[in-house]
Amino acid sequence: METLGRAFTDALELLWNMDSTLLEIVGLTLQVTLVALAIALLLGIPIGAAIGLSRRLPGRAFLVPLIYTGMGLPPVVVGLFTYLLLSNQGPIGGLGWLFTPAGMIMAQTIIAFPLVLGLTMAAVQSVDPDLPIQMRALGATRRQVALTTLVESRIGVTAAVVAAYGSIISEVGAVMLVGGNIEGETRVLTTAIVLETRKGNFALALALGIILLGLAFMTNLVFHRLQVRQGGP
Amino acid sequence: MAERPCVMMVCHYAERTLMRPLILMVVFVAMLTSACSGDDTSEYEVLRLATTTSTNDSGLLDTILPGFEAAFKSRVDVVAVGTGQAIELGKAGDADVILVHSRAREDAFVADGHGTARYDVMYNDFVAVGPVGDPAAIAGTPLASDAFTTVAAVELTFASRGDDSGTHSKELSIWESAGIVPDPNSAWYKSLGQGMGATLNYSNEVGAYTLTDRGTFLSQNESLTELQVMVGGASIDENVDPVLLNPYGVIPVNPDKGNINSELADQFVVWITSLETQEKIGDYGVDTFDQPLFYPDSEAWRSR
């Protein structure tokens, strides 16, 4: 209990002081997460919508379970895979992305992409199947049908964004392996929490955890405002 | 009234679609729970050992602990963490005994009343390693502090554990004796905040210098193709820097903390310092690395 109590006062103190080291860690956390999320959204939403709309796609019986499996990719495995790709001996080691934020973004994009893909697909599928048929009958192009269906399923798509964001901002295994938790370069909130726990600084670790939760909450407030504006719950 | 059958149908439908999976899930969870409780620990006593990653990652504990478990009808739960956290676990009473390597902090732990006494167990040594090409030209430097001074002067990449571990404390004390305060925000000094294995992998990838215990370096040697020993020689006999000696101590946690299995902890201390166990410690690794990873050093061993 003593540790828990001290953690809260420590967290407040950390927030109050906002020293440059903490700012750097928070900044990098947001940068890596948001860039990875953006790439995952740009790829995942169109492809997810396309798969959701093509109900007679050949190989669908295989593809959909594959996507669902991808939604549960273990982050450490993604980290290991990315590490081996980016290592000096790896096929794209020449990029020099190992132990850099670029490598961390790559790993997190791989984690977020199937989530966005699968949840967008499910959201699009939950729209009345007659809608695309009626729109086609009224002379809409494929693109117009896809866009309208996406707009109709916007609440589900926003949920996809929230789920992907939540999973990568709280992820530690992949960023630890690929980033290396280097102070001032690749240290993010989750890896800092692991480090401080290992050092036995439980209060500081918990304080960083509180900051991480606060950060997630603030971003989700923004997402929710968007959802409400669209007529969501 | 006409709607009533319809409502019934909806209920029936909901029952069919929801209840069955629900019942299946409850049965499944119940089965799993009973499977877990089948692991009956009542006849075993449990010893919670907090230790450093080096004793565990090197495979030493896996080799010697079964002997203790069999002799004392017990189970040892090993928590392998940095020395900093191992000591914190002891302070919080979350471990019965600690096996660590940071002499100053071990003595403070006992002096502050967290442990009953510290006993010598074994030692090995630290070595400074670096990229095979050795751009700082420090290979063969006898003293670690001189080698560190050169690395800092030419600003070649140095990877620090940065995790408050025993190895990290040792590295910091070497910098201190060299009169250098490395800045983690400088381009050449990288503070990783990770374990020894991860730090060695990093150094191997980017061509960095680092300080490591010889045991971990040897056990990972096969994958560390870009690294070689710079200070400390090929074996502990060639290591002329006394600063690089790395002694391990065992400390039973003070039973006043409550819920401490101090009887078993004391038996563990007697067991690990006994001649028989010490011999096993000295033999470990000889087959694989042509040299021991740890050298026995208990009082019983020294006065044999």
Size of interface A-B (CB pairs under 8 A): 59
Are A183 and B81 inside 8 Å of each other by CB?
no
Are A183 and B194 inside 8 Å of each other by CB?
no
* Distance set, CA A97 to CA A86, A169, A191 (Å): 6, 20, 18
pLDDT of residue B2: 44
Please give the helix or strand (H or E) that residue B268 lies within, else none. helix B262-273
pLDDT of residue B9: 54
Are A184 and B87 inside 8 Å of each other by CB?
no
> What's domain B125-244's superfamily in CATH?
Periplasmic binding protein-like II (3.40.190.10)
The type of residue at B237 is D
Flag whether residue A99 sits within 8 Å of chain B, measured between CB atoms. Answer: yes
This prediction has a pTM of 0.78
Over residues A180-191, the pLDDT tens digits come to 999 888 999 999
pLDDT of residue B127: 97
**Cβ atoms of B201 and B208 closer than 8 Å:** no
Are B163 and A195 inside 8 Å of each other by CB?
yes
The type of residue at A47 is I
Domains along chain A? 2-126+154-228 (1.10.3720.10)
Residues from chain B contacting residue A181 (CB–CB below 8 Å): 192-194
Flag whether residue A56 sits within 8 Å of chain B, measured between CB atoms. Answer: no
**Looking at residue B97, what DSSP letter applies?**
E
Question: CA-CA distance, B246 to B102, in Å (whole number)?
Answer: 8
Are A200 and B185 inside 8 Å of each other by CB?
no
Backbone dihedral angles phi then psi of residue B37, each to the nearest 5 degrees: -70, -10
Are A198 and B81 inside 8 Å of each other by CB?
yes
How many Å lie between the alpha carbon of A200 and the closest alpha carbon of chain B?
Answer: 4
> Which residues of chain B register pLDDT less than 70?
1-18, 33-43
pLDDT of residue B1: 42
Residues from chain A contacting residue B185 (CB–CB below 8 Å): 183-184
pLDDT of residue B12: 59
> Which residues of chain A register pLDDT less than 70?
1-2, 230-233
Find the closest chain B residue to A198 by CA distance.
B85
**Cβ atoms of B217 and B125 closer than 8 Å:** no
Domain with CATH 3.40.190.10 in chain B: 45-123+246-302, 125-244
pLDDT of residue B56: 81
**Cβ atoms of B109 and B79 closer than 8 Å:** no
pLDDT of residue A130: 86
- How high is the ipTM of this complex? 0.75
pLDDT of residue A18: 75
Q: Which two tokens stand for residue B107?
A: 């003595």
How many Å lie between the alpha carbon of B84 and the closest alpha carbon of chain A?
Answer: 5
**Looking at residue B115, what DSSP letter applies?**
B
pLDDT of residue A112: 97
Find the closest chain B residue to A177 by CA distance.
B198
pLDDT of residue A30: 93
CATH annotation of B45-123+246-302: 3.40.190.10
pLDDT of residue A90: 87
Helix axes A154-169, A101-125, angle to 10 degrees: 150
